[in-house]
Amino acid sequence: MPQNIPRDHHYVPQFYLRNFATDPEKQKLTTVAKHGHVAVWAKRSIKSLGFERDLYVSMRDGVPVSVENIINERIETPISESDTWTKLVNGRADALDKTDKPILYALIRHLNVRTPHYMAVTMELARLAEHQDSAIPFTNEEREHYAYLRANPNEAKAMFNLMSMSIGWAEADYRKAALSIFRSPIPLRTLSSPVMSIRAPTHPALYLPMPGLTPYQLVLALNPTTIACLVLGDFDDAFGNIEMPMDSALGFNRQFVAQFALYDGIRHLVTSRDDLSVYMTWAPYSLIEDTEQKITYRRKA
């Protein structure tokens, strides 16, 4: 690749992380980072967070091709310069309305598919689909698709890059999806794979892409006081913006910690230190050391 092409590819956009910055210059934030069985809370640079070497590179006719700049030009820059994002940067989540749905929908779908965690989950599904006795009832078409990915890992990477550099694949679901904005009474956390897929109440209008799939919603913290929840299905282009009760905010914060603990591919939990050890010792980690600059945890055996 040409030398002017960046090779450290951020899968969490820096414009997104700056909404969680702890300094006036918006260069720093505090996270819990995994180091094997140890997890350490400390202050970190936004520039040094959420990137992987050559993440958005695949081979084409033996030549490495990067889509990092395309992602920035087509998706990150338009979203970060939108009126919708300006409302969030300025703390005006209460002003978000249905005109903001296109940007928020695009952001959630995009951030959900562009991370190493998403790629790892895709390949794990491909592995499970190889076995006829899998707990997931894959269709024959799905088994053929995943067999192709197993046999052609570079094509799997190219498909990942294609989804990361475009949101055209998500357009068909937009008009029927329901998007809800919930404004929190307490500071919210987020993750280095920022979109969580969590259980949703059963509803006949829900879209479930695989047989037997548990009903789910896609959840993204937009800033420390705002959550967006996206539900795919036949919901007639619904949009809402309300204050959420304290128990819901606490529940979301617990979900962030739970997903950080559960998935190896989620490397950072973006959070203040307030009540952190209560959640981490539930997650389950043991508290090893707590100083003003650093909190160290070790995963329980």
d(Cα 191, Cα 183) in Å, to the nearest integer? 18
What's the pLDDT at 203? 84
Render the burial of 15-29: b for 16+ CB within 10 Å, e for the rest: bbbbbbbeeeebebb
What's the pLDDT at 109? 97
d(Cα 277, Cα 109) in Å, to the nearest integer? 31
d(Cα 218, Cα 43) in Å, to the nearest integer? 28
Average pLDDT of adjacent 10-residue blocks, the chain of 301 residues: 75 97 96 96 95 91 90 96 98 97 98 95 94 88 94 93 94 93 98 94 78 83 98 92 97 96 94 96 96 96 82
What is the separation of C-alpha 236 from the centre of its chain, rounded to a whole number of angstroms?
25
Helix and strand element counts for the chain (H, E): 11, 15
d(Cα 221, Cα 191) in Å, to the nearest integer? 9
What's the pLDDT at 211? 61
> Is the whole model's pTM more than 0.85, yes or no?
yes
Domain ranges of the chain: 8-299
Torsion 32-262-217-124 (CA) sign: positive
What region does 200 belong to: left with phi over 0, alpha with psi -120 to 50, or beta?
A: beta
Q: Which two tokens stand for residue 36?
A: 């094997």
What's the pLDDT at 214? 79
What's the pLDDT at 227? 98
Question: Which strand (E) or helix (H) includes residue 297?
Answer: strand 295-299
d(Cα 294, Cα 44) in Å, to the nearest integer? 11
